[in-house]
Amino acid sequence: MAAAVERAVAEFGRLDAAVNCAGVAGSGAKIGDTALAEWERVIGVNLTGMFLSLKHEIQAMVANPGGPSGAIVNIASAAGLVAVPYLSPYCASKHGVLGLTKTAAREYRGKGLRINAICPGVIDTPMIRGSAESRPEVAAQSRQAAGGVLGQPGQIASAAVWLCSAGASFVNGESMVVDGGTVTH
């Protein structure tokens, strides 16, 4: 992450916006059956990876020419808001992403930085398709989500673009749910 941020700053002279999107779901075991290595892998990618992204992006945005400025969007999950059986490492990591987002927003508010999160529902991605093919409970959850309609990656991208725009200049520390109304049930 340090190298990626350094490269962006070297190429563009500053870092104005960043969207952090990384996630692995895990094996889908109950907590008592989850291996420590599986827990550490999911937490490492989903939460530690997010921390490292934030750390280096914030450092660059604080050092922007003309003073601190920028917007960061962390992709969490609706599973960061509710419990999803068999996905304890994933849920814990995405709950953690929301905590990191709120903490960073509080630490850097008033310093020209805005930091928000998006909580996607079931989105038509290779991760969801692969999980649904190998685990019947994921396929059932996917059919139940948002009336059986899967969200599209472009819908999440549009929300991220808006959160990085001047139109969202008064939005900070929020967790925007983009799930077709699934969490409201």
Closest to 102 measured CA to CA, from 119, 85, 126, 86: 119
Distance CA 15, CA 54 (A): 12
Contact status, residue 76 vs residue 163, Cβ threshold 8 Å: no
Instruction: State CA 21 to chain mean position distance.
Output: 5
Nearest to 47 by CA among 83, 112, 95: 95
Give Dmax over CA atoms of the chain in angstroms. Answer: 53
Q: Is 148 exposed, middle or buried (0-12, 13-18, 19+ CB in 10 A)?
A: exposed
Give the active site residues. Answer: 90
The per-residue b/e assignment along 2-30, b for 16 or more CB within 10 angstroms, e otherwise, is eeebeebbeeeeebebbbbbebbbbbbee
Return the number of other C-beta atoms located less than 10 Å from residue 123's C-beta: 22
